[in-house]
């Protein structure tokens, strides 16, 4: 039977640590501030943005949610980012994705000052991560590394298999596992004999976006299984990319969905905002 990695509990611990540092900064006259821009009416995005605001309040940070209309032009959004780049009370800027189709996502991410890019999505910050010199790490992968570290799971020397190669999860988590001296294999939709590769994994990270895709026969006995997937079933319930019922009995550690990787993402955003405020102070 696997030990469950409790993302809610670990996230709460980290938020307490952040809150203590925020209190210290406030006593010294600086309130870390995060601006979140949302363009349009995407209901899921609205929930994510609201939760980011709540997260800031919980740790004592200032947050500003900037709502822009669906028909906002790229020039208008870039001008808003320029304004926030110049403000001293805003240390982190996040533009909620996806953006309406008239706006070029890459251009928007590139416009955020790298020192305020708390999502760590811009090319300079990705480059720093590759070099091992980053101030900010992308939030979901950074959260996964915290889950491993705080569960006492050693990465060095382990066979790490990542399924998924997106810029926000698969590629960066592969890089972070490598930086911790894991032996990393990255799989994707063109990978042949996927189950043969995944059965080699001591640590298996699954970030595909397909409900219950990884089944018990794809997992080695004793593997650590990290399920990044967040999929909505027809009945509205949230489910991961891992078939928990067949995988859990074989795993040594497993993250549940919900309550595993999910709670860590906003927490790492708060951590990045704190880091940004310290650097800019
Ligand atoms: P994405 O951009 O859609 O990427 C999915 C990746 O999975 C791609 O690299 C794709 O390969 C690969 N893939 C798809 N089908 C496959 C198959 N049959 N076999 C092997 N690989 C396959 O997704 P994402 O943004 O990384 O997100 C992945 C999941 O994580 C989603 O459920 C998302 O909701 C969730 N997520 C959760 C959090 C969180 O906070 N917990 C944060 C971000 C994402 P190709 O590159 O070859 O197409």
Query: What is the per-residue pLDDT across 8-48, written as a single tens digit (0 to 9) for each?
Result: 999 999 999 999 999 999 999 999 999 999 999 999 999 99
Q: What is the mean pLDDT of the chain?
A: 97
How high is the pLDDT of residue 122?
Answer: 97
d(CA 267, CA 72): 29
- Nearest atom in ligand 1 to the alpha carbon of residue 240 is 32
Task: Give the residue range(s) of CATH 3.40.50.720 domains in the chain.
Answer: 139-262
**96 is a catalytic site residue:** yes
Would you give the DSSP letter of residue 242?
B
How confident is the model at residue 249, as a pLDDT? Answer: 98
Question: Residue 138 pLDDT more than 90?
Answer: yes
For a substitution probing ligand 1, which of 230, 232, 261 has the most ligand atoms within 8 Å of its CB? 230
Mean pLDDT of all residues in 158-172: 98
State the Rg of the chain over Cα: 19
274's CB contacts (< 8 A; 6+ apart) are: 18, 21, 22, 25, 32, 59, 61
pLDDT exceeds cutoff 90 at 82: yes
Superfamily, domain 139-262: NAD(P)-binding Rossmann-like Domain (3.40.50.720)
Cβ of 228 less than 6 Å from ligand 1: yes
For residue 197, what pLDDT is reported? 98
Q: Up-side HSE of residue 64: CA atoms within 13 Å toward CB?
A: 16
71-77: long-range pairs with CB below 8 Å, 24+: 71/100, 71/102, 72/39, 72/40, 72/100, 72/103, 73/102, 73/103, 74/102, 74/103, 74/104, 74/107, 74/108, 77/37, 77/39, 77/103, 77/108
> Taking 90 as the threshold, does the pLDDT of residue 155 lie above it?
yes
Find out whether the beta carbon of 262 lies less than 6 Å from any atom of ligand 1.
yes
Tell me if residue 52 is catalytic. yes
Mean pLDDT of 146-157: 98
Distance CA 255, CA 262 (A): 10
Please provide the CATH number assigned to the domain covering 30-114: 3.40.50.10860
Phi-psi region of 279 (alpha: psi -120 to 50; beta: other; left: phi over 0): alpha
Q: Would residue 24 show up in a list of annotated catalytic residues for this protein?
A: no
Average pLDDT score over residue span 54-67: 98
Question: Does the pLDDT of residue 1 top 90, yes or no?
Answer: no
Question: What is the dihedral angle through the alpha carbons of 128, 118, 96, 187, rounded to the nearest 10 degrees?
Answer: 40
Model confidence band, residue 101 (pLDDT cutoffs 50, 70, 90):
very high
Cα end-to-end span (Å), the chain: 48
Cα–Cα dist 256/261, whole Å: 8
Q: What is the pLDDT of residues 167-212, one digit of tens each?
A: 999 999 999 999 999 999 999 999 999 999 999 999 999 999 999 9
For 74, 103, 181, the CA distances from 43, given in Å and listed in that order, are: 21, 19, 40
* pLDDT of the residue at 195: 98
Mean pLDDT of 164-168: 97
Burial class (CB in 10 A: 0-12, 13-18, 19+), 229: buried
In the chain, list all ranges with CATH 3.40.50.10860.
30-114
Q: What is the pLDDT of residues 228-246, one digit of tens each?
A: 999 999 998 999 999 999 9
The answer to whether the CB of 169 is under 6 A from ligand 1 is: yes
Instruction: Inform me whether the pLDDT recorded for 281 exceeds 90.
Output: no
């Amino acid at each position: 039977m696997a030990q469950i990695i409790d993302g809610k509990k670990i996230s709460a611990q980290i938020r307490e640590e952040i809150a203590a540092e925020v209190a210290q900064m406030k006593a010294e006259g600086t309130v870390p501030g995060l601006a979140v821009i949302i363009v349009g009416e995407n209901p899921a995005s609205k929930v994510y943005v609201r939760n980011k605001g709540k997260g800031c309040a919980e740790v004592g940070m200032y947050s500003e949610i900037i709502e822009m209309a669906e028909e906002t032009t790229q020039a208008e959004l870039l001008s808003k980012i320029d304004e926030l780049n110049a403000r001293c009370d805003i240390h982190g800027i996040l533009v909620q994705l996806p953006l309406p189709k008239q706006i070029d996502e890459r251009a928007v991410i590139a416009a955020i000052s790298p020192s305020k890019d708390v999502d760590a999505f811009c090319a300079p910050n990705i480059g720093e991560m590759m070099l091992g010199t980053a101030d900010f790490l992308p939030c979901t992968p950074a959260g996964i590394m915290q889950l491993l570290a705080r569960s006492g799971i050693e990465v060095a020397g382990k066979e790490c298999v990542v399924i998924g190669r997106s810029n926000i999860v698969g590629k960066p988590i592969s890089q972070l596992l490598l930086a911790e001296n894991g032996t990393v294999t990255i799989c994707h939709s063109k990978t042949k004999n996927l189950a043969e590769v995944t059965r080699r994994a001591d640590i298996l990270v699954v970030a595909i976006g397909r409900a219950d895709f990884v089944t018990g026969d794809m997992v080695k006995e004793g593997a650590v299984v990290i399920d990044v997937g967040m999929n909505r079933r027809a009945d509205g319930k949230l489910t991961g990319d891992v078939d928990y019922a067949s995988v859990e009995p074989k795993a040594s550690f497993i993250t549940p969905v919900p309550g595993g990787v999910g709670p860590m993402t906003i927490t790492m955003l708060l951590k990045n905002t704190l880091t940004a405020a310290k650097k800019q102070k």
